Structure 1
């Protein structure tokens, strides 16, 4: 522990450390705090080892550098200012904030200097990979509409940590919570889109084999080609054709990994009349030809040459 000019630095291995004022703990009042640090549970790939209910009073700040765990922080009352990887977020009553492993997180008191929170800290060797798989890595905030269900999940996990009866059940319940958050994130994104754009995206996903032009998709969605292009630029930062082609290339990649269809058959399923043109498009998006991708997929545990997905911003 290093104390310099009333600033305390604590290190927890590797490049991970925290900084806070020397009087930081005087601003904290813990109503509940449960932890389970046994060696066996920590061997699990997803382990919720600490739960707390805390009131934070007065003016204070705290920094977590290269934080090694995932922290879910549900605001029950008050507000706090968070900054993660340079992105500032004001967290108010009912909001859930995600502090991601490996990131630098700064927390500041604000407003009337009061915050009442539930916090769940999750570790495990596969947490970063799981967050990527669930597409939660760039998600920092869930709004108050979800607070009741999130609170129920966290309280159930807290009971399991307090009783220490089933490490596997605690791990499983935590995965359920993260999977539920991932599903709600998708629903939240789609609810923020104009109905015409949502309809166009649905048509694209359902009509991969039809070879529809963008003009036809716009007509089926009930809008003009120009309006559809403007909406895609505004919300997706790409053209409709780029989005549609990316969907097809993702689907092609999955079919190639199945190893059941020839490249010609896959091209036909995706509405490409010319297999050579399909191969050139696939190589432009993935960096490998379809045959090269299939060969690489057989020899690698992870997906070769992942295609960058085009997503709607939160």
Structure 2
């Protein structure tokens, strides 16, 4: 069994398991639930925001975190221990802890600190964290001017007001927070993780396409937030992106298969071949039949070398 950190007194039997209840200062924590189980099946949301200010030695031990936690220091410093690894959290160096981890934190010799702690939940939280590479404890480097504290305060306002229609705004802000953390992870150059997930969803099944609203719901946000984030990174709407990919698939099918125009339209999820042909003409300036004929002529014009 690990020994307590040397410069803190060892709790005795008459002392609670953590020192938070005895430490001078204030901690304001709010919960999103209107009643137990209100959002048990919701994909993603912030369940609570704690804004804590302490000015004396403080410690706390959690044996199994039920939430995903984001720790953001406004001032001071706090030492965290997660599975024997230590993290010194300071302003600009936030710490993210996924659900299920045991963690312990304590003040340093400075004692005083002011911090935000966000508590994330949702049935899709594990898969979202895995996609965003946030499925293990990680400390990141963000500038102190980062708008993250402003978003945390806005979430706290939404949570305190508790109107049912604010859950979608809560979910959208939560996803933005997680993506901000994900994009701060040092990694080789690659497509944005949000874009990779969004593009996979948009192009996953053309025959039975998932609606934009459904994709946004899966990612824990409303359609408006999803569209805004996608457009900001791709300079086009999700609808436009999906249509371009469908047209690319149409060209591939027209060139390499013998499927009829009607069959191709069905495979790509168009309600009928007339709508497919009109979209194809708008994209390429010719009908699918003309495109197939031109592609065939180009193939036939290539001569096979003699032996």
TM (norm. structure 1) is: 0.52
From 29, 32, 37, give the equivalent of 1:36: 32
Q: Give the aligned partner of residue 8 of structure 2.
A: none
Distance change in 2, residues 1:81/1:73 (3 Å): same
The equivalent residue for 1:170 is 170
Superposed CA deviations along residues 141-180 of structure 1, whole A, max 9, x for unmatched, are 1224266221122122112112223112201210121122
Q: d(CA) in 2 for partners of 1:135 and 1:146?
A: 23
C-alpha deviation, 1:123, in angstroms: 1.5
Gaps of 5+ in 2: 1-10, 192-248, 253-307
- Post-superposition offset of 1:59: 1.5
1:73 Cα deviation after fit: 1.2
**Cα gap change, 1:6/1:147 in structure 2, threshold over 3 Å: closer, same or farther?**
farther
- 3, 10, 13: which one pairs with 1:5? 13
Offset of residue 93 of structure 1: 2.2
Aligned pairs, number: 181
Higher strand share: 1
Equivalence map 1:176-255=2 (5 Å): 176-185=176-185, 188-190=186-188
Task: Please tell me whether the aligned partners of residues 72 and 96 of structure 1 are also in contact (alpha carbons under 8 angstroms).
Answer: yes
- Which consecutive residues of structure 1, in runs of 5 or more, have no partner in the other structure? 9-18, 191-197, 203-257, 262-314
Asked if the contact 1:77/1:94 (under 8 Å) is kept, the reply is no
Matched, 1:25 2:33: no
> C-alpha displacement at 1:69, in angstroms?
0.6
Distance change >3 Å, CA 7–CA 26, structure 1 → 2 = closer
Choose from 81, 89, 92 the match for 1:91: 89
1:155 and 1:162, CA in 2 relative to 1: closer, same or farther beyond 3 A?
same
Instruction: Determine the structure 2 residue equivalent to 1:108.
Output: 106
The runs of at least 4 aligned residues of structure 1 exceeding 4 Å deviation read none
Structure 1 CA distance for aligned equivalents of residues 12 and 41 of structure 2: 36
Q: Choose between structure 1 and 2 for higher RCO, CA contacts under 8 A separated by at least 6 residues.
A: 2
Structure of larger gyration radius:
2
1:56 aligned to 2:64? no
Identify, as 1 or 2, the structure richer in helix: 1
TM-score, structure 2 normalization: 0.53
Q: Aligned with 2:39: secondary structure? A: helix
Structure 1, residues 268-314: CA drift from partner, whole Å, max 9, x if none?
xxxxxxxxxxxxxxxxxxxxxxxxxxxxxxxxxxxxxxxxxxxxxxx
* 1:187-221 Cα deviation digits (max 9, x unpaired): x445xxxxxxx7xx99xxxxxxxxxxxxxxxxxxx
What are the superposed Cα offsets for residues 50-76 of structure 1, whole Å, 9 maximum, x if unpaired?
112111221122111121111111100
Assess if the C-alpha contact under 8 Å between 2:24 and 2:56 holds in 1: no
Q: Which residue of 2 aligns with 1:68?
A: 66
Aligned-pair distance for 1:4? 6.5
- Partner residue in 1 for 2:120: 122
1:22-49: CA deviation from partner (whole Å, max 9, x where unpaired) = xx31215336432222332333121211
Tell me how far apart the structure 2 counterparts of residues 28 and 43 of structure 1 sit (CA, whole Å): 37
Report if aligned partners of 1:95, 1:147 keep a CA contact under 8 Å in 2. Answer: no
Is this contact kept in 1: 2:70–2:97, CA < 8 A?
Answer: yes
Structure 1 residues 96, 28: CA separation in 2 closer, same or farther (over 3 Å shift)?
farther
Give the Å deviation of 1:138.
2.9
Deviation at 1:139, TM superposition (A): 4.4
